[in-house]
Amino acid sequence: MLFFVRRIVIFAVMVICVGFSHLNFQNVSAQELPAETTEEWAWPVTGRVTDTFGTRQGNHKGLDIAAPIGEHIYAVEEGIVTISSFKGSYGHVVFIQHPNGYETVYAHLSKRSVKEGERVAKGQIIGQIGSTGNSTGPHLHFEVHNGEWNPSRNNAIDPFYVLTDEQIPVPAIMQKEGIEVSKELETYTVKEGESLSVIANKVGLSVEEIKALNQLTGDLIFPNQVLIVEKT
C-alpha cells in the first residue's frame, strides 16, 4: 500500500514540475514584446503609410511609406549593416541588426549610403527613397524582425508595435541637427477602370507629372495602386 502511495506522490510532483516548465519557457508573442527595448525608435522616413502589416492574405510582412524619390531614409536605431545590396523583389535594400536582437529591413531604395559591416547610429542616413525591385511607385518597404531575417520571414512583426505612437516629420535626433522637415504627401488610390489621364484631370496634374512623381515608365496602372499626386 505504501508503495502505491509513493508512486502517486511522485507522479503528482512530476505533473507539477512539467506545468512549471511550460510556464517558464513559453514563447512571447509580438504583442507582448517589451516596449522598453524599442521605445526610442523613430520613423525611418517622412511620408504617408500606404500599406500595413498582414495585408495581401497575410503575405505583406512590413509597412509601406510613400515619399518622393530621393527622400532620405534613416536608421531607426543604432546597429550593424548586415546587408547592403540589390536583392530581387526588394530592389536596393539595407538590413540592420540592432543590439536588442531585432533586425530591420529598408527596401526599394534608389540609393544605398552604407556598406555591409558598417556600424550606423540612430538617425543616420542609410539611403534614399526609390522604386526598385517589385514596386509600383516610390516608397519605403520597412520590415522589423524579432531575430534575424529568414526567407520565410516568420520572425516578422508589425512595425507599429515598435515604432513611436505618432509619426513625426523626421526622427527627433535629426531635428536637433537642423535637417529640414518635409511635409506629408498627398496620395491617390487608383479605382477600377481609371487611367492616368482620368486621374490627372481629377488631381490637376499632367500624366507626365504623375509618371515622374511615381517613377513610372509606362501608362499601366492597377486598381488599389497608390500614387503620389503632390508636387514637392
Q: Which of 132, 115, 139, 127 is nearest to 76 (CA)?
A: 127
- Rounded to two decimals, the pTM is 0.59
Average pLDDT across the chain, whole number: 75
**Residue 64 included in any domain:** yes
The per-residue pLDDT for range 203-231, each reduced to its tens digit, is: 999 999 888 876 676 777 766 677 778 76
Per-residue pLDDT, 163: 78
User: Which structural domain range is residue 125 located in?
Assistant: 35-176
**Residue 2 included in any domain:** no
**Residue 127 included in any domain:** yes
Domain of 213, CATH number, reads 3.10.350.10
Q: Are residues 151 and 199 in the same domain?
A: no
Q: Are residues 147 and 221 in the same domain?
A: no
Q: Are residues 49 and 161 in the same domain?
A: yes
**Residue 207 included in any domain:** yes
Q: Are residues 48 and 118 in the same domain?
A: yes
Query: φ and ψ at 210, to 5 degrees?
Result: -65, -45
Cα-based torsion angle of the residue sequence 167, 168, 170, 172 in order, rounded to the nearest 10 degrees: -120
Q: Are residues 220 and 147 in the same domain?
A: no
**Residue 69 included in any domain:** yes
**Residue 47 included in any domain:** yes
Q: Are residues 83 and 155 in the same domain?
A: yes
Q: Residue 29: CB partners within 8 Å, gap ≥ 6? A: none
Q: How many CA atoms lie within 13 A of 5 on its CB side?
A: 2
- Report whether 127 contacts 167 (CB < 8 A): no
DSSP H or E stretch at residue 176: helix 172-176
Q: Average pLDDT in the 26-31 region?
A: 32
C-alpha cell at 30: 509580438
Q: Are residues 193 and 140 in the same domain?
A: no
Q: Are residues 42 and 153 in the same domain?
A: yes
In a 3-state reduction of DSSP, which class is residue 4? helix
Q: Are residues 172 and 191 in the same domain?
A: no
Which has more confidence, 123 or 223? 123
The per-residue pLDDT for range 54-98, each reduced to its tens digit, is: 887 778 889 898 888 999 999 999 999 999 999 989 999 999 999
Domain of 42, CATH number, reads 2.70.70.10
Per-residue pLDDT, 215: 64
Judged by average pLDDT, the poorest of 93-97, 133-137, 158-162 is: 158-162
Q: Is 170 exposed, middle or buried (0-12, 13-18, 19+ CB in 10 A)?
A: buried
Cα distances (angstroms) measured from residue 128 to each of 72, 93, 144, 190: 5, 10, 19, 25
Most confident of 47-51, 52-56, 133-137: 133-137
157 has pLDDT over 50? yes
Q: Are residues 86 and 129 in the same domain?
A: yes
Per-residue pLDDT, 168: 38
Last residue of a domain, one of 132, 151, 176: 176
Q: Which long-range contacts (CB under 8 A, 24 or more apart) does 147-153 make?
A: 147/101, 147/102, 147/103, 148/97, 148/103, 149/95, 149/103, 149/105, 153/61
* Adjacent-strand bridge partners of 94: 84, 106
**Residue 9 included in any domain:** no
Q: Are residues 148 and 193 in the same domain?
A: no
**Residue 16 included in any domain:** no
pLDDT level of residue 175 (50, 70, 90 thresholds): very low
Q: Average pLDDT in the 43-63 region?
A: 83
Per-residue pLDDT, 40: 63
Per-residue pLDDT, 183: 46
Which has more confidence, 7 or 142? 142
Q: Are residues 100 and 150 in the same domain?
A: yes
Q: Hey, what amino acid is at 149?
A: W
As for how many domains the chain has, the answer is 2
Judged by average pLDDT, the poorest of 143-152, 155-164, 203-212 is: 155-164
State whether the Cα torsion 82-91-140-35 is positive or negative: negative
